[in-house]
Amino acid sequence: MKRRLVVIGAGMASGRALEHLLAADPGGWDVTLFNAEPRGNYNRIMLSPVLSGEKSYAEIVTHDDAWYAAQGITCRFGEAITAIDRAARTVTCANGTVAYDKLLIATGSAPFIIPVPGHKLPGVVSYRDLDDTNAMIEASAKPGGKAVVIGGGLLGLEAAAGLAARGMEVTVIHLMGHLMERQLDPAAGYLLQKDLEKRGLRIHCKGATKAILGTNRVEAVLLEDGTVYAADLVCMAVGIRPETRLANSAALEVGRGITVNDQLCTSDPDILALGECVEHDGQLFGLVAPLYDQAKVVAATLAGTHAAFRPVQTATKLKVTGVDLFSAGDFAEAEGREDIVFRDPARGIYKRLVIEGARLIGAVMYGDTADGAWFFGLIKEAADITAMRDTLIFGPAYQGGAQTDPLAAVAALPPEAEICGCNGICKGTITAAIGAGASSLADIRATTKASASCGTCTGLVEQLLAVTLGDDFKLPTAQPVCRCTDLTHEDVRRLIKSQALKSMPAVMQELGWKTSCGCHVCRPALNYYLLADWPLDYTDDAQSRFVNERNHANIQKDGTYSVVPRMWGGMTNPRELRAIADAADKYAIPAVKVTGGQRIDLLGVKKEHLPHIWADLNAAGLVSGHAYSKGLRTVKTCVGTDFCRFGTQDSTGLGIKLEQRLWGSWTPHKVKLAVSGCPRNCAESTCKDVGIICVDSGFEVGVGGAAGMDLKHTEPLAKVATEAEAIDLTVAFVQLYREHAKYLDRPYKWLAKVGLPWVQQQVMDPAIRAGLIERFDLSQTVYQRDPWADRATPAAQAAFAPLADLTREAAE
């Protein structure tokens, strides 16, 4: 007597289960197969090649009519089951009811749709089945069509690549900071983005969709940040959700998916389930490899033999022709785990292995994935890798122990990359000079002028000599930034410019960083270099800043903070003083002090009070004094012509103008200014980073003074006749310093390296000066904003408060 098996869903998982079941017991079952799609089983994975045009639907069918007929399966394609009656053991569809002895649920998953306004407009599709694929192919037929894909995961990128292959102009919008963040780390995500951009895709990371616009059909996509992308087609590929509606209505046990045990039985012993619709041991499934294992177990359970499902490790590959990426296992960092990182900037290769004890447990690779299968095998077998650990990253073929090449980043530069910014000399010119016989730094300086001006590119020129001449050139040892790299600060700065590196992962990959995410030494420096060089492209990373700059206040030894409002040029008034006094009372400030920088310090403020005290001070017109920043600090002034009998110019007025122009700017180290009304120098201008002394005939601008650990008198930069020129010179000097100095070098230290004559030549040249001023002002359009006002919001106030308070939580 044949038993009746009803299967809901003719997808990849149930297809494989039926093959196993009917092969083992050909006459044992009377199978009825329902499928909501009006067709039988096909290889869903291969929809991407169908979309891109590399395959046809006929080529990806896995079970055709003849197969179903030969197996005696009753096919009910195009019929969706609407209910399960567990007591009566029947299932119901629009055309009636069918009884079962055993029921197999294999409904797969449903694409997740973000319910933004406009998500139901015609032209918005998901990417799950053949109908979706055909809809996209149809939309791409219109010449010059634009597509927006929402979601930069596996599915979204395959959809995007397919649509691009069909000639559409494609934009991918991704919520997270890098593509495929579930499978890739930021380094690999960066390389992937770069590759896809090279193929003409536009990638917008950190993009949150606000609405899909259009009247009768989609016309555009609007993001939270205000960006609008025109779209004839929108593909939403933001994730999947197990299709559990039937199981829910039938009151089966359902978590995120239909709960199944090791035998793939649901909470009803006559009902089994497998595929993406199930949850096993808290885990969901989204790739076919484990589903095929489930299929074997389902067949065994139905046949009455014992088998148990054990989830296997899965590996990911992206099916975009020409993109080589691989990820497997667990690559999160954790206790006792170690990273081995290999980067070859020249060839765009990144490999990272994660090792725990004697075993390999995770691997991420980009650019060269030939060894992926081998690593995956080691992960699955939990093989002991102790013996080959040192050379493991080079793969099975190479056990000789090559070293990563510290010169690779320089070797990888294209000939047109600029090496010497002062003289505009690019790599090709220098290598040509070496080819023509130059063999030392002096030769290069004599023939090309490179490194002959400010000298900050010396390291790079030497490395070019080493790369080109090989062993004939002995590389002097320079101090690298930190243990994450062999490059010096100056090299990193110049390479960021010449290679147009605009993100932290870009710098770390292209310059061959030896760690996956840097350390507390290099990250703040890189963050500064990137925001200084690319104010419009780079997003400041708060987590790469030192606590003071992250919290916009100076941390004290007991973990409280100090708050210093700006007093422009040292001027204040009763209203401001009253607001400060009120705040000191309201927040019970333990100490109020007049600083050495002509303003008032409120010391001992609790972190959670910061945004509140700022809001109160803001209300009186006071803004942050940046007393904590590597940025503009104070502009001290004296009373000048307004009151003083010796004053020659309006020193107070000039100081206020300078402070208003420069505040908010970030600099390699702190920058302090002063303006004194006469050579008596009451504002102590002669020991400031920029100090101006007013005289009858104009303004003497001095730079590079200091009164900290070193005491330095300023050096005269220039004497000018007008206030406007004094301001221009100051802005140009500060910008030159911002663009060239090493992180944490005060101006006097940087000046000692590049020399005053070079600085003078730069800021006195009208064209160069205008460029410096223009770039400074551009940066200020982004960075001149009061951090206090930005944090006077309820959201920021909550972020500064403890996450939870357990002090009143009852003990058990």
Partner 1 sequence: MTQSWLDIGALEDIPRRGARVVKTRHGCVALFRTAADQVFAIDDRCPHKGGPLSEGIVHGNAVTCPLHNWVFSLETGLAQGADSGAVATYPAEVRQGRILLDCARLIAGRAA
Ligand X SMILES: Cc1cc2nc3c(=O)[nH]c(=O)nc-3n(C[C@H](O)[C@H](O)[C@H](O)COP(=O)(O)OP(=O)(O)OC[C@H]3O[C@@H](n4cnc5c(N)ncnc54)[C@H](O)[C@@H]3O)c2cc1C
Nearer to ligand X, 80 or 603 (CB): 80
Q: Note whether 642 and 590 are within 8 A (CB).
A: no
Single out the residue of 16, 128, 609, 746 in contact with ligand SRM (rule: CB under 6 A).
746
One residue of 570, 597, 698, 702 binding ligand SRM per CB under 6 A: 597
CA distance linking residue 204 with residue 156, whole number of Å: 13
Our finding on whether 661 is near ligand SRM (CB under 6 A) is: no
Q: Which tokens go with 395?
A: 């793969």
**Binder of residue 570, out of ligand X, partner 1, ligand SRM, none (CB less than 5 to 8 A by kind):** none
Which of 88, 373, 547, 581 forms a contact with partner 1 (CB under 8 A)?
547
**84: Cα separation from own chain's centroid:** 46
Contact 122, 217 (CB under 8 A): yes
Q: How far is the CB of 317 from ligand X (least distance, A)?
A: 7
Write out the binding residues for ligand SRM, residues 62-81 only, by CB under 6 A.
none
CA angle, 162 as apex, 156 and 164 as ends, to 5°?
100
- In the set 202, 210, 296, 550, which binds partner 1 (CB under 8 A)? 550
Q: Which two tokens stand for residue 648?
A: 């020659």
546 binds partner 1, rule: CB under 8 A: yes
**Which one of the spans 104-112, 375-383, 546-554, 558-566 is the region binding ligand X (CB under 6 A)?**
104-112
- Interaction between residue 279 and partner 1 (CB under 8 A): no
Contact mark string toward ligand X, 319..358, x via CB under 6 A = x---------------------------------------
Residues 664, 626 contacting (CB under 8 angstroms): yes
Q: What span, in angstroms and rounded, lies between the C-alpha atoms of 156 and 135?
A: 15
- Give the residue, chosen from 52, 126, 485, 634, that forms a contact with ligand SRM under the rule CB under 6 A: 634
Residue that is written with structure tokens 């990253």 in the block:
393
Are 252 and 269 a contacting pair, CB within 8 Å? no
What DSSP string runs through 301-340? HHHT------PPP-EE----TT--EEEEE--S--TTEEEE
Write out the E strands in 367-475.
418-420, 425-426
Note whether 764 binds partner 1 by CB under 8 A: no
Nearer to ligand X, 318 or 353 (CB): 318
Strand partners, 30: 4
CB 324 within 8 A of CB 278: no
Contact partner at residue 471 from ligand X, partner 1, ligand SRM, none, CB < 5 to 8 Å by partner kind: none
Q: Is 401 left (phi over 0), alpha (psi -120 to 50) or beta?
A: left
How many CA atoms, within 13 angstroms, populate the side-chain half-sphere of residue 242?
A: 25
Choose between 318 and 580: whose C-beta lies nearer to ligand X: 318
Q: Which H helix or E strand runs over 49?
A: helix 47-52
The CA-atom distances, in angstroms, between 740 and each of 420, 504, 528, 532 are: 12, 19, 12, 10
Q: Transcribe 721-778 into DSSP letters.
A: SSHHHHHHHHHHHHHHHHHHSPTT--HHHHHHHH-HHHHHHHHHSHHHHHHHHHHHHH
**Minimal CB distance to ligand X: which residue?**
11
Asked if 13 interacts with ligand X (CB under 6 A), we say yes
Per partner kind, with CB cut-offs from 5 to 8 A, the member of ligand SRM, partner 1, ligand X, none near residue 708 is: ligand SRM
* Binder of residue 349, out of ligand SRM, ligand X, partner 1, none (CB less than 5 to 8 A by kind): none
With 0-12 CB in 10 A as exposed, 13-18 as middle and 19+ as buried, what is 567?
buried
Exactly one of 6, 14, 123, 699 binds ligand X (CB under 6 A); that residue is: 14
The smaller minimum CB distance to ligand SRM, of residues 111 and 625, is found at 625
- Per-residue contact string for residues 703-732; x = within reach of ligand SRM by CB under 6 A: ---xxxxx----------------------
Q: Please, which of residues 31-70 interact with ligand X by CB under 6 A?
A: 34-37, 44-45, 47-48
Nearer residue to partner 1 within complex by CB, 485 or 551: 551
**x-or-dash pattern for ligand X, window 130-159, by CB under 6 A?**
-------------------------x--x-
Nearest to 168 by CA among 141, 145, 151, 185: 145
Closer CB to ligand X, residue 312 or residue 358? 312
Beta-strand pair 425-426/561-563 = unpaired
Read off the tokens for 765: 């040249």
Strand 325-329's sheet: what is its strand order? 315-316, 325-329, 359-366, 349-356, 337-344
Site string for ligand X, 245-264 (x = CB under 6 A): -x------------------
Measured from the CB atom, the residue of 250 and 410 that comes closer to ligand X is 250
Looking at residues 262 to 301 of the shown chain, list those that interact with ligand X (rule: CB under 6 A).
275-276, 286-288, 291
Site for ligand SRM in 556-585 (CB under 6 A): 556, 562, 564
733, 668, 669, 736: which is closest to 702 by C-alpha? 733
Nearer to ligand SRM, 244 or 624 (CB): 624
Residue of 189, 524, 631, 787 that binds partner 1 (CB under 8 A): 524
Binder to ligand X among 40, 49, 108, 518 (CB under 6 A)? Answer: 108
794 lies in the binding site for partner 1 (CB under 8 A): no
Query: Judged by CB under 8 A, which stretch of 129-137, 637-645, 781-789, 799-807 contacts partner 1?
Result: 799-807
> Tokens 């959201």 — which residue?
795
Q: What is the DSSP string of 599-666?
A: SEEEEEE-GGGHHHHHHHHHHTT--B--TTSSBEEEEEE--GGGT-TT--S-HHHHHHHHHHHHTT-B
Contact between 8 and ligand X by CB under 6 A: the answer reads: yes
Q: Which residues bind ligand X (CB under 6 A)?
A: 8-14, 34-37, 44-45, 47-48, 80-81, 106-108, 127-128, 155, 158, 243, 246, 275-276, 286-288, 291, 319
Residues found near partner 1 in the complex (CB under 8 A): 177, 185-186, 256, 331-337, 339, 515-520, 523-524, 542-547, 550-551, 555, 557-559, 799, 802-807, 809-812
Binding residues vs ligand SRM (CB under 6 A):
554, 556, 562, 564, 593, 595-597, 599, 601, 627, 633-634, 670, 672, 706-710, 746
